[in-house]
Amino acid sequence: MSKKSRDLDLWTVAGIAVVAFAIANFSHEGLGHGGACVLNGGHPLVLSSVHFECSIENRWIASGGTIANFILAVICLLALRAVRHSPRLRYFLWLSMTINLLQGGGYFLFSGVGNIGDWADVIKGLTPAWIYRVGLALLGAVTYISFVWLALAMIKPFTGMAQPERWQRAKTLTLLPYFVGGCLYTIAGLFNPVGMVLVAISAAAASFGGTSGLAWMWQVPRGKPPKDEPVPEPIERSRAWIIAGVVAVIIYIALLGPGIRFSRP
């Protein structure tokens, strides 16, 4: 095994990605929509990887998922600034921050353009409808680009500055999680209790669509490297993260795929 492969282990990156995507989804559906449901006096009915059902409906419950994503992203950002050691933990925090921010910003754009999803429910009934849709789309576009630039600024310790290694490391640290997370969400979504339509408008939209910035952001950081080129933080092989990823796949697909039904009060 070469030094380069030891410094950036693909199985460990994949394990971290699975855990980060699973937590982001549970935060959106369970903590976000579920928490808002309880706080508004409702009763949880069904929780799956692609939807949450509450005994009542209102704008706060619809917006709860995105709000939870943003709260988790801020926590990860603060933790990332505080943690000085453990590159694998720092990368997990960076990836979790990025996933939650992109899914949140992407949802504004998704609902504004397509008039479906959580934020379409938030603005439902407000007039004139087209102004709110355009406003959502613009908010989504601005926040999404801003979040991509923030993620790029925070990923530099893991990529270094020397080219072309910088591009290759950035490509691995973003593209691999993108495909792993997309496959995880889509496979789990196939077992959802509502129907195949949610695979497209929720599972695939939140992963392949919402986090699409991970698929192309690695191409952005260009330019001449500075004279002082820091050594990138290594993501070496970790059995613990690989096992955590396997466990997360099993639990996520087996439980949240078909959904968890709660007894009615």
pLDDT at 208: 87
Least confident interval from 58-62, 67-71, 204-208, 230-234: 204-208
Least confident interval from 2-16, 105-119, 130-144: 2-16
What span, in angstroms and rounded, lies between the C-alpha atoms of 91 and 160?
14
What span, in angstroms and rounded, lies between the C-alpha atoms of 72 and 23?
10
Least confident interval from 14-28, 150-164, 170-184: 150-164
pLDDT, one tens digit per residue, over 159-205 is: 877 667 788 899 999 999 999 999 999 999 989 888 777 777 676 77
What span, in angstroms and rounded, lies between the C-alpha atoms of 262 and 224?
56
pLDDT at 1: 39
Provide, rounded to the nearest whole percent, the portion of the chain with pLDDT above 70.
Answer: 92
What span, in angstroms and rounded, lies between the C-alpha atoms of 64 and 66?
6
pLDDT at 225: 54
pLDDT at 226: 54
pLDDT at 5: 45
Q: From residue 135, how far is each of 101, 106, 217, 248 by CA, in Å? A: 18, 13, 25, 37
Which is higher by pLDDT, 96 or 51? 96
What span, in angstroms and rounded, lies between the C-alpha atoms of 207 and 200?
10
pLDDT, one tens digit per residue, over 230-264 is: 788 999 999 999 999 999 999 999 999 999 999 87
The edge-to-edge listing of strands for the beta sheet with 260-261 is 52-54, 44-47, 260-261
Nearest C-alpha neighbor of 15 from the set 187, 182, 243: 243
What span, in angstroms and rounded, lies between the C-alpha atoms of 9 and 235?
6
Per-residue pLDDT at 74 exceeds 60: yes
Across the chain, mean pLDDT equals: 90
pLDDT at 229: 58
Helix axis angle for 129-159 and 87-114, nearest 10°, is 160
**Residue boundaries of the structural domains of the chain:** 17-220+238-261
Pinpoint the alpha helices (H) of 57-127: 59-82, 87-114, 118-122
> What band does 221 get if pLDDT is binned at 50, 70 and 90?
low
pLDDT at 93: 98
Residue type, 31: L
What Rg do the C-alpha atoms of the chain give, in angstroms?
A: 19
**DSSP classification of residue 235:** B
**The tokens of 98 are what?**
């990025």
